[in-house]
Amino acid sequence: MASENIKKLWGGRFTAPTDELVEEFTASINFDKRLYAEDIAGSIAHARMLGRCQIISQSDADTLITALNQVKVEIESGDFIFSVALEDIHMNIESRLGEIVGPEIAGRLHTGRSRNDQVALDLRLFLRNQLLQVNSLIYDLIHVLVDQAESHQKIIMPGFTHLQQAQPILFSHHLLAYVEMFLRDYERLSDCRNRLSVSPLGSGALAGSSFSLDRQMVADELGFAGITANSLDAVSDRDGVAEALFDFSLLMVHLSRFCEELVLWSSVQFNFVTLSDSFCTGSSIMPQKKNPDVPELIRGKSGRVVGSLVSLLMTLKALPLAYNKDMQEDKEPLFDALDTVVGSLRIMTSMINEIQVNAEVLAEQAGAGFSTATEIADYLVRKGLPFRSAHEVVGRVVAFCELNKLLFTDLTIAQWQQFSLLIKNDLFAFLEPQDSVDAKDLFGGTAHKRVVEQIGLLRLFLEKNKIF
C-alpha cells in the first residue's frame, strides 16, 4: 500500500507514491525530532545569512525567521503534529513552514543547503550542548567525591591487587583515584566538544554550493570557532558522534568499576560501606535482603553504552563518501547512550553523597593479610640489603607466621632476628598500617599529607570550572 496524502518535498522526479512500509522503515522522525531546537537554530542562522547576502529578499528572510520561531513554540507547547510520511525533523519543520508562510517563501529556506549538511550541523550543535551537560554532571560527581574524601581523609583501609590484600591506603586516597578517572573523562569530553566546533553548513549535499554563501557568518552566529574545510568530509563525518560514544563508554566503564567495588564493599563479607536504603531494594522472598540495585544497574548499563559505540563503528566502517542512508543509524545509539550516561551520573552522585563509611571495619581489615610486608622489606633495604634479598627474607617471615598462626606484631625481636640480623628494635615503628601509610609521603602517594595536597588541587579545579 502506498501513501498519497502528503506531498514529498523531494517528489518531483517520482511518478509513484512511496510505499507505506518504506515510509515507516526509512523514517527517523520518531527519534530525530529531538534535534528540533538545533534544526531551527541552524535554519534561522541560514535564513538570516541568505537575506544578508541578498540571495533571498530580506523580507522573505524575516518572514522565515518569524515562522521558524513560531514552529519552535508549537513544538515546545506540544501542539506540533509530527508526520512519519515527512520522514525526519527537517522535512516536518519545512512542511509546517509552508503551511504558515506559503510554499513559495518556505521553499526559499533550502536555498544553498542540503539535508546532508543540515543534519551534520544539527548533530554538532546538539552534541556541543549535550557534552556540556554531561561535563556538568561529571563536575557534580567529582565535587561529591572530593567532599567525601575530605570528610574521611584519615580513615585507613586495605588496598588490593588481584582482589587480595596488598598495602594499607587511605580511604580518601581510594576515592581520589576515581576522581582522576572522572577528570580524564571531563577533559576528553571537553576536547571532543572543541573538535565539534566547526560548522559544516554550506557543504551542500557533498560538493559545496554555487551560491555566494557567507559560511563564516552562520558559524559565528551559532557559536562555532570555524568552518569545515572539505565539503565531502563535512557531510559524511561522524567522528564527533563516534568520539562522544567512546568517551561515554570509557566514562561508563569507570562508573562500572566503582560500582563493582560498592557492590563488594556493601556486602556482609566486606561491610566497608553501607548504602542508603534509598538506593537499594529488597527481596520478594528473603526479608533480610538489601540489594545494591543501583550500582548493579549502572554496572550493567555500561555494556549498553559500549554496544552503542560498536554499533556506530560497524555502521561507518565500510561507507563510501559522501552521505549514505546508513548514517541515519547514528542517532539512536547516540541518544540512548547519552540518556544512559546522564541518568547514571545523576544517581551515582546522589548515592555517593549519602554513603556511610564503616571506619572501624576498614581499619581492622587494613592490617590483615600481612599488608605491611613491603614496608618491612623497604626497612631492610635502608639497612643495606638488596631489595630482592629483602623480599625473600620477609617472604620467609610471612610463611613462618602463617604456619604458626601469628601476626607480624606477635613476633619478638629474637624471632625477627632469626631471619635477618639487620633487624633491630626500630623495626617496630614500621609494623602498623598507619606507619605504612605515613611512609608513602611522595606526590601522588597515600600519605595523609599528600591526600590533603590533592584535595587542595582538586578544590582549585572545582573553583576554576564552576560555570554550571
Residue 348, domain CATH: 1.20.200.10
Q: Is 3 a catalytic residue?
A: no
- Contacts of residue 162, Cβ cutoff 8 Å, sequence gap at least 6: none
Q: Are residues 101 and 132 in the same domain?
A: no
Catalytic entry in 59, 151, 267, 283: 283
pLDDT tens track for 134-164? 999 999 999 999 999 999 999 999 999 999 9
In a domain, 445, yes or no: yes
Query: In which band, very low, low, confident or very high, does the pLDDT at 2 lie, cut at 50, 70 and 90?
Result: very low
Beta strands 164-170 and 198-199, pairing class: unpaired
In a domain, 249, yes or no: yes
- The C-alpha cell of 139 is what? 563536575
pLDDT tens track for 370-419? 999 999 999 999 999 999 999 999 999 999 999 999 999 999 999 999 99
- The C-alpha cell of 183 is what? 577528570
In a domain, 315, yes or no: yes
Residues 209, 211, 217, 218, Cα dihedral to 10°: -50
Q: Are residues 189 and 316 in the same domain?
A: yes
Q: Are residues 86 and 203 in the same domain?
A: no
Beta strands 226-227 and 198-199, pairing class: parallel
pLDDT tens track for 159-191? 999 999 999 999 999 999 999 999 999 999 999
Q: Are residues 137 and 266 in the same domain?
A: yes
Q: Are residues 304 and 349 in the same domain?
A: yes
Q: Is the distance from CB of 376 to CB of 394 less than 8 angstroms?
A: yes
Q: How many domains does the chain have?
A: 3
Phi-psi region of 405 (alpha: psi -120 to 50; beta: other; left: phi over 0): left
In this predicted structure, what is the pLDDT of residue 4?
43
Q: Are residues 403 and 257 in the same domain?
A: no
Q: Are residues 184 and 315 in the same domain?
A: yes
Q: Are residues 186 and 265 in the same domain?
A: yes
In this predicted structure, what is the pLDDT of residue 6?
61
Average pLDDT score over the chain? 94
Residues forming beta bridges with residue 164, ordered by sequence position: 161
In a domain, 215, yes or no: no
Q: Is 254 a catalytic residue?
A: no
- Tell me the H-state helices in 238-292: 239-265
pLDDT at 123 exceeding the cut of 80: yes
Q: Are residues 318 and 289 in the same domain?
A: yes
Interior CA angle at 178 toward 175 and 183, to 5°? 125
Q: Which domain holds residue 53?
A: 11-111
In a domain, 218, yes or no: no
In this predicted structure, what is the pLDDT of residue 31?
84
Q: Are residues 279 and 399 in the same domain?
A: no
Query: In which band, very low, low, confident or very high, does the pLDDT at 28 lie, cut at 50, 70 and 90?
Result: confident
Q: Are residues 319 and 376 in the same domain?
A: no
- Structure-model confidence comparison of residues 284 and 255, the more confident one: 255
Q: Is the distance from CB of 235 to CB of 205 less than 8 angstroms?
A: yes
What's the count of helices (H) and strands (E) in the chain, helices before strands?
A: 19, 6
In this predicted structure, what is the pLDDT of residue 283?
87
Catalytic entry in 162, 210, 278, 284: 162
Nearest to 317 by CA among 232, 245, 250, 242: 242
Would you give the DSSP letter of residue 162?
T
Q: Are residues 120 and 105 in the same domain?
A: no
In a domain, 65, yes or no: yes
Distance CA 231, CA 322 (A): 9
Query: In which band, very low, low, confident or very high, does the pLDDT at 27 lie, cut at 50, 70 and 90?
Result: confident
CATH value at residue 61: 1.10.275.10
